[in-house]
């Protein structure tokens, strides 16, 4: 499926502003993955500071037992989406 820059712009404008950082991180990831020649470097070397912080926060959450089971996470997401659709 061919997608235009205009369609991508429209999608970006429809997102909550708190997601834009994550979208930008993903774009940076794609640029580095596909625009650079494959090297022997570890993929983790290409992570942005924001991505590293997010991973470290996840490690801290695990250490502090701030985790959810898969079923709990699905229920929380379901409730969140229901609240946002009102």
pLDDT at residue 50, rounded to an integer: 94
Q: pLDDT, tens digit, for every residue of 50-71?
A: 999 999 999 999 999 999 999 9
Structure tokens, 18: 């708190």
- In the block, tokens 């070397």 appear at 45
pLDDT at residue 45, rounded to an integer: 83
pLDDT at residue 38, rounded to an integer: 58
Categorize the per-residue pLDDT at 1 as very low, low, confident or very high, splitting at 50, 70 and 90: confident
In contact, 15 and 7? CB cutoff 8 Å = no
């Amino acid at each position: 499926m061919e997608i235009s820059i205009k369609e991508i712009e429209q999608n970006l404008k429809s997102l909550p502003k708190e997601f834009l950082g994550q979208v930008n991180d993903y774009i940076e990831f794609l640029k580095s993955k596909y625009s650079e020649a494959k090297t022997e470097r570890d993929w983790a070397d290409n992570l942005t500071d924001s991505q590293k912080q997010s991973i470290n926060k996840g490690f801290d959450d695990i250490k502090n037992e701030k985790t959810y089971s898969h079923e709990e996470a699905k229920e929380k997401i379901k409730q969140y989406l229901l609240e946002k659709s009102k």
